[in-house]
């Protein structure tokens, strides 16, 4: 291995391990990067934020945590939250414990003589729970109770919460979430691979220490290929889908040269690498079954959001540190309306369904075909209609897909063969997953009989393979081809509208998860003694003019290179100087100047 690659890999592994320092990979000034504004500086956000209970108290992780903290200060509400937490746990415990734990929950929270009795749940729902427990155990045992309880909490408790210091703290977190995002918000490490419009490299949030992958879309390359709609489409789909089986978009920002998508980093490499480059070709049944089940869940979550993936193949399925997989590269995906069909030869040769090849209209049937191809390839280390290392002209391959039957060798068990045949049915109307039962038909197939999908979707099933944390599962840096320089393309003001739509900063749910997972929330979310307001939450304290919250569409002026020492000194002495009014819409606010000053002064770990 070249010295350059060894150095790049060593730096990446060290960063993944937290940098070896007491800050866990965070900047030395991480608290300043995440500093709360005074509550009186949140007035604009407070007046404009949508007061929706489910969004603020259920869906957003920090909002949910703060609402729970508020409820714990009220004895009657604490019982409600304890009940909801217990029912969430009940949904993912092993089947053999369903009845005993369900009975425990009923005795503790639905028994009128219990000190933790939840009186807000109607009598009829309590009776139904008891009947279900006696007659038939199911995952929906407490569903009616949970709905009723959330309806209660969304009333007076939610109104009172909005008058509390806990909601004020949520507003502060939302303001921090909206701080400007630039290239200086991250440390950058080695290139991991190439996308269609630029490099993909590893990066690390300076504020939290969390590792990500940064997918760079070169502006001139996008413009040359007239791919603005394609690039924006991928970004909007990633923004829309929140699934543990699809890579998450955490940030979107721009530099002078590129548009950047900061995504979930998957350190375990892609399935193609593991199928063909890790010794024995292909996987055993348990590993095939586990990966197929997670891909199935990811595809279903995309379909729930009316997204057809259209490019399922092993190199687009990535493993994380723990051996779980996520679907990546949504560049060819499309959002459709309910019941709508689309047409077009889109995808990768070898994985396209017959209806795509024949240029017929289709829906998500093409993704179930792709799942069949994936299960086949993971098992046989070859595609269904092309032998390993066999070179075929496209027309010949298309003919095989349309006219011939796939063959099955000794590595296929009866169940694996059966699900492949069902998913690779040439007529989409006969294909597994395309009939009335939909995804449920696939989950109920005997091939998945050992998979508890509830526990799988909760991330509680142990993967059959865990990547080596000391390994880098990608090509050496020197073996990754560099992009050529794009010539003859100039960027102008007509491109600004597109960049504005793209440059939206932090994504709410991934960012809040980052704060919780890296314990930044735990370290910063402090209140006064005996649960009193801290000075930054004291509304009686007069502060200067409230800074405007940074709208998601605000473009930020980007630096092209790291400032010199003279430049840092100059910036330090002039950061509060006058701003050119002509360029005001693209200038940084006082908050952003403060953030950038901290970033440029920082030493790398």
pLDDT of 585 strictly over 60: no
What secondary structure does DSSP assign to 231-257, as a single string? HHHHHHHHHH---TTBPPEEEEEE-SS
Residue-wise pLDDT for 324-349, tens only, equals 999 999 989 999 998 899 999 999 98
What is the percentage of the chain residues whose pLDDT exceeds 70?
A: 87
Rg of the chain in Å (alpha carbons): 26
Q: pLDDT value at position 589?
A: 44
pLDDT of 586 strictly over 70: no
> CA-to-CA distance for 22 and 447, rounded, in angstroms?
47
**Dmax over Cα atoms in the chain, in whole Å?**
79
pLDDT of 583 strictly over 60: no
Domains and CATH numbers, the chain: 36-178 (1.10.167.10), 180-267+478-505 (3.30.200.20), 269-468 (1.10.510.10)
Q: pLDDT value at position 136?
A: 65
> CA-to-CA distance for 379 and 283, rounded, in angstroms?
6
pLDDT of 572 strictly over 50: no
Judged by average pLDDT, the poorest of 60-74, 88-102, 370-384, 443-457 is: 88-102
Q: pLDDT value at position 390?
A: 81
Measured at the alpha carbon of residue 462, what is the angle toward residues 285 and 329, in degrees to the nearest 5? Answer: 75
**Is 224 known to sit in a ligand binding site?**
yes
Tell me the two tokens of residue 324: 């779980």
DSSP state of 410: T
pLDDT of 320 strictly over 80: yes
If we measure between CA atoms, which residue out of 560, 502, 23, 579 comes closest to residue 256? 560
Among candidate residues 82, 311, 320, 367, the one labeled active-site is 311
> CA-to-CA distance for 342 and 336, rounded, in angstroms?
8
> CA-to-CA distance for 272 and 276, rounded, in angstroms?
6
pLDDT of 361 strictly over 90: yes
Q: pLDDT value at position 592?
A: 45
Q: pLDDT value at position 12?
A: 84
> CA-to-CA distance for 386 and 125, rounded, in angstroms?
56
Residue 324: burial class (beta carbons within 10 Å; 0-12, 13-18, 19+):
buried
Q: pLDDT band for 548, please (50, 70, 90 cuts).
A: very low
- Mean pLDDT (whole number) for 556-573: 45
Beta bridge partners, 246, equal 327
Active site (annotated) includes residue 363: no
If we measure between CA atoms, which residue out of 352, 367, 332 comes closest to residue 230? 332
Q: pLDDT band for 577, please (50, 70, 90 cuts).
A: very low
- Mean pLDDT (whole number) for 100-112: 92
Give the contacts of 160 (CB within 8 A, at least 6 positions apart): none
Print the SS3 string covering 95-113: HHHHHHHHHHHHHHHCCCC
- CA distances 352 to 271, 398, 425, 426, 433, Å, are 18, 9, 13, 11, 17
Give the contacts of 147 (CB within 8 A, at least 6 positions apart): none
Contact 318, 326 (CB under 8 A): yes
How high does pLDDT run on average in the chain?
A: 87
Cα torsion for 182, 186, 191, 193, to the nearest 10°?
Answer: -70
Residue-wise pLDDT for 406-428, tens only, equals 999 999 999 999 999 999 999 99
Tell me the two tokens of residue 199: 């490099």
Q: pLDDT value at position 138?
A: 63
> CA-to-CA distance for 26 and 19, rounded, in angstroms?
9
Q: pLDDT value at position 563?
A: 52
Long-range contacts of 128-131 (CB under 8 A, 24+ apart): 129/102, 130/106
Q: pLDDT value at position 304?
A: 96
Long-range contacts of 488-491 (CB under 8 A, 24+ apart): 488/224, 489/220, 489/223, 489/224, 491/219, 491/220, 491/223
**Element housing 571 (H / E):** helix 565-574
Q: Which residue has the higher pLDDT, 321 or 574?
A: 321
């Amino acid at each position: 291995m070249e010295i350059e690659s060894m150095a790049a890999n060593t730096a990446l592994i060290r960063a993944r391990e937290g940098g070896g320092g007491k800050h866990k990979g965070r900047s030395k000034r991480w608290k300043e990067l995440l500093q709360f504004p005074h509550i009186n500086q949140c007035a604009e956000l407070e007046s404009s934020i949508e007061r929706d209970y489910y969004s603020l108290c259920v869906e957003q992780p920090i909002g949910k945590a703060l609402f729970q903290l508020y409820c714990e200060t009220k004895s009657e509400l604490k019982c409600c939250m304890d009940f909801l937490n217990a029912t969430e746990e009940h949904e993912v415990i092993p089947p053999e414990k369903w009845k005993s734990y369900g009975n425990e929950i009923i005795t503790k929270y639905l028994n009128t003589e219990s000190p933790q009795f939840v009186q807000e749940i109607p009598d009829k729902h309590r009776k139904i729970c008891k009947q279900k427990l006696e007659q038939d155990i199911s995952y929906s045992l407490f569903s009616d109770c949970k709905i009723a309880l959330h309806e209660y909490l969304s009333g007076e408790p939610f109104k009172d919460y909005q008058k509390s210091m806990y909601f004020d703290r949520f507003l502060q977190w939302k303001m921090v979430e909206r701080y400007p995002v630039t290239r200086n918000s991250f440390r950058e490490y080695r290139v991991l691979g190439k996308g269609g419009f630029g490099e993909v490299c590893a990066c690390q949030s300076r504020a939290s220490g969390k590792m990500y992958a940064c997918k760079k879309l070169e502006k001139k390359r996008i413009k040359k290929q007239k791919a603005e709609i394609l690039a924006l489409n991928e970004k909007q789909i990633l923004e829309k889908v929140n699934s543990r089986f699809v890579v998450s978009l955490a940030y979107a920002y721009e530099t002078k040269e590129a548009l950047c998508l900061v995504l979930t980093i998957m350190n375990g490499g892609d399935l193609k690498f593991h199928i063909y480059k890790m010794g024995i070709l292909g996987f055993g049944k348990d590993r095939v079954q586990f990966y197929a089940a997670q891909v199935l869940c990811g595809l279903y979550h995309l379909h729930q959001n009316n997204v057809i993936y259209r490019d399922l193949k092993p190199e687009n399925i990535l493993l994380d540190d723990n051996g779980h997989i996520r679907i990546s590269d949504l560049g060819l995906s499309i959002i459709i309306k309910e019941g709508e069909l689309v047409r077009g030869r889109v995808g990768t040769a070898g994985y396209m369904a017959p209806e795509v090849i024949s240029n017929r209209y289709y829906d998500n049937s093409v993704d179930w075909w792709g799942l069949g191809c994936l299960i086949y390839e993971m098992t046989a280390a070859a595609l269904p209609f092309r032998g390993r290392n066999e070179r075929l002209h496209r027309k010949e391959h298309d003919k095989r897909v349309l006219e011939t039957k796939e063959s099955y060798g000794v590595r296929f068990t009866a169940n694996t063969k059966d699900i492949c045949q069902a998913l690779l049915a040439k007529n989409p109307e006969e294909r597994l997953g395309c009939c009335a039962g939909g995804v449920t038909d696939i989950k109920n197939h005997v091939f998945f009989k050992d998979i508890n999908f509830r526990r799988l979707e909760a991330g509680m099933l142990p993967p059959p393979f865990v990547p080596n944390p000391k390994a880098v599962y990608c090509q050496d840096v020197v073996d990754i081809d560099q992009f050529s320089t794009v010539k003859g393309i100039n960027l102008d003001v007509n491109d600004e509208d597109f960049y504005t739509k793209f440059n939206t900063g932090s994504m709410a749910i991934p960012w809040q998860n980052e704060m919780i997972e890296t314990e930044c929330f735990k370290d910063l979310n402090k209140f006064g003694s005996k649960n009193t307001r801290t000075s930054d939450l004291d509304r009686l304290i007069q502060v200067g003019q409230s800074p405007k919250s940074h709208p998601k569409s605000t473009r930020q002026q980007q630096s092209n290179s790291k400032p010199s020492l003279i430049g840092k000194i100059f910036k330090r002495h002039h950061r509060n100087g006058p701003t050119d009014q002509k360029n005001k819409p693209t200038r940084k606010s006082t908050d952003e100047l403060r953030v950038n000053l901290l970033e440029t002064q920082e030493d790398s770990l």
